[in-house]
Structure 1
Amino acid sequence: MKYTTIKTIIIFLLSLNVYSQNNSGIVKYEVSLNFTLEDIVTEEKKQKKELRTMRKIISESKNSEVVLKFESTKSFSSVSKRMKINEEKTGTDFVYSRAGRDKKFITNLITNSNEMQECKVLEKCYLIQQPSLEWQLTQETKLIGSYLCYKAINISSKNKKKKPIAWYTTTISASFGPKQYFGLPGLILELEEAAVIFKAKEITLNPKDKIVFDTLKGIKINKEAYNKKVKEAYSDFYKI
């Protein structure tokens, strides 16, 4: 099987020529767990305490919804819906957290960049420059609804066990996806991360109403510098 490795800047040059048909749209993704307890047990032996924790997470997880809005050279992604959970019982919402929580992501093809707004961890809002993506394109295909989609692997991911996998369609020539994912020769309709999976459930192309993007404010910083600030602020935690 042949593979092609690309960087997002190459796709940007390609995408500028194909936006005439699908130059704006809104996509709603349903986000759910991408593993079961059986997967964890099969992968490796776990201590009973760890298995109890994972069983609790799986049994109490609720799906979330992420909305992607895009126009010719820009997109905005955020969690729009979080299923109600019993906070006293769970204390956290695993899927909601992995879907992006209250973070907001904005992609700009002109600058070939994606910024994530984070306002909860430190006392100020930060616009964190996400690392550039490198994709490995394959010839593997599958149908998602009526769309023929191609498989791409994010080989720039630091996850050694499972690289993120995107399924994109060239039928919709928008080089965007949920969260920080972009740069493919078409719209991402399905995204598999290690913990959760994003599946497009509703697509609106060229809506009548003008798409409005949120204005993200914060201190601009790269991811490495931001992580350093977090470690300094929570030094006791990182010593554990």
Structure 2
Amino acid sequence: MKKILIIAFILFSIQMYAQTNEGTVYFTRTTYWTKMNNQLSYLSKQEKEKMTYMFAGKDDWKEYMLLHYNDNESKYVASEEKSEESEGYAWRKEEFSVARNFTKNTMLDVFEILGKTYIIEDSLQTPNWKILNDIKEVAGHICMKAMIEDTLKKQKIIAWFAQDIPSNAGPERLWGLPGLILELDINDGTVLIQASKIESKKLTQELAPPKKLKGKKMNEVAYQEMLKKIIQEKIKEERNPFWFIRY
């Protein structure tokens, strides 16, 4: 009976979204800094004490993100909703956007790292997902489970995607599943990116590329090499590299 209800729900949702397969997903991105620090064996005592002081027992720091999508494109950006602030540190909004064009097979990402802006332009490489049998509900949609690993950042990433929303898009830099990704779990809950609301609507300028881009341009290989260098440097300094780059 349960399987019949799930199938009926998926078929109903597919029919509902077939007319307007575009819109905006609202995500909450929660980082658990204490859990992250405990996983990093190379951190100095000073670094751990600093992080403990900064978060003062409240280490679940939230950011709010938007994913605009349609059949051909997606764009992931920070919401205008203010992210949380921790004691002793005022967070500021940095340059950040992740754009995918599935028809042209191109990407255009803009990141600010260590005070400098980088523009990553390249062709898309399909992520090597492993689709699993588990299902659960996320934001009112029955989602299937998939897994992938980031060997550079040493992350195991679980994704939950909704087959009834036929889009290859997803939050962060992840995409390429047969359905819109509505949740990401990085390293057993160290970072959780969860959809809170989905607006099915006609998009206007949300997917438009930035009019002016200022920063250092590079391809994906060069970007990964830069991240690798930063991670190696911070490990030598016994500091958390993800205080400087996105986890």
State which of 188, 192, 198 in structure 2 corresponds to 1:203.
Answer: 198
Q: Which runs of structure 2 are paired with 1:41-120 in the superposition (5 Å)?
A: 48-55=45-52, 56-57=54-55, 59=58, 62-80=61-79, 81-85=81-85, 89-90=88-89, 101-119=94-112
Q: Which structure 2 segments of 5+ residues have no match?
A: 1-16, 238-247
State which of 166, 177, 182 in structure 1 corresponds to 2:170.
Answer: 177
Q: Is the 8 A contact 2:42 2:235 kept in 1?
A: no
**Which digits, 9 at most, give the CA deviation of each residue in 1:139-198, with x for residues without a partner?**
11112243111111124x215753111100111111111121111011111111244211
Q: CA RMSD in A?
A: 3.9
Taking CA–CA contacts closer than 8 Å with sequence separation of 6 or more, which of the two structures ends up with the larger relative contact order?
Answer: 1
Check 1:46–1:125 CA distance in 2 against 1; reply closer, same or farther (3 A cut): closer
Q: Is the 8 A contact 1:168 1:187 kept in 2?
A: yes
Alignment TM-score, normalising by the size of structure 2: 0.67
Q: How big is the shift at 1:229?
A: 6.6
Q: In structure 1, give the amino acid aligned to 2:192.
A: I
Distance 1:172 1:111 in 2: 21
Q: Is the 8 A contact 1:162 1:193 kept in 2?
A: yes
> What percentage of aligned pairs have identical amino acids?
23
Distance 2:127 2:196 in 1: 25
Partner SS state of residue 222, structure 2: helix
- How many residues matched? 211
Q: How big is the shift at 1:134?
A: 1.2
Check 1:110–1:121 CA distance in 2 against 1; reply closer, same or farther (3 A cut): farther
Q: How big is the shift at 1:51?
A: 3.7
User: 1:9 corresponds to which residue?
Assistant: none
Check 1:229–1:86 CA distance in 2 against 1; reply closer, same or farther (3 A cut): closer
Q: Is the 8 A contact 1:115 1:180 kept in 2?
A: no
Q: In structure 2, give the amino acid aligned to 1:203.
A: I
Q: Which structure 1 segments of 5+ residues have no match?
A: 1-18
Q: How big is the shift at 1:53?
A: 3.4
Alignment TM-score, normalising by the size of structure 1: 0.69
